[in-house]
Amino acid sequence: MRTVAVYPGSFDPPTYGHLDIIERSSRVFSRVIVAVALNIRKNILFTPAERQAMLRKLTRQWGNVEVTEFRGLLIDFARDQGAHILVRGLRAISDFEYEYQMAHMNRKLAPDIDTVIMMTGERHSSISSNIVKEIAMFGGKIDDLVPPLVRDIVFKKMKGAKRR
């Protein structure tokens, strides 16, 4: 049986924590769709196209992973993709309440779609995209938080933003 899973997020920027969840999901599910969301509640640094381009380069080693953008309700997107699984990453207990609420609301809206929560590997549990951006804004070292490709793009983007 082919299992299609959707791993949604803003991925602004993609971190080692995100890649940990993607890699592990690729071993569990037949097809993993990394869905780059437009989230108006977040302070976004990269365009959806930039985030997708980074993720495509970072995930090309996993043949069953694809990257795309989505807008609207996640469950509608999942259904359109033929997915019955939503993958969510959990870094710390502080993430649990939000993920719990989202899983239950998605289940209420779409009883045929389940949420699978994966604990991020311990060495990545303190990483968030917002922390990466904040450290980079002040010129701090982010090498342990994001792959070199992302690090270079983040600092290039930050440098351009400071000139404006």
Catalytic residue among 18, 31, 88, 133: 18
**Active-site position among 10, 129, 133, 151:** 129
Q: What is the largest CA-CA distance in the chain?
A: 52
Query: Is 159 labeled as catalytic in the residue annotation?
Result: no
10 is annotated as an active-site residue: no
Rounded Cα distance between 149 and 164, Å, is 24
Out of 42, 60, 123, 159, pick the active-site residue.
42
Please state, in angstroms and as integers, the Cα–Cα distance from residue 86 to each residue in 6, 77, 91, 93, 135, following that order: 5, 11, 16, 19, 30
Selecting among 91, 124, 133, 151, the annotated active-site residue is: 91
Could you confirm whether 124 is annotated as catalytic? no
Q: Is 57 a catalytic residue?
A: no
- Give catalytic residue positions: 18, 42, 91, 129
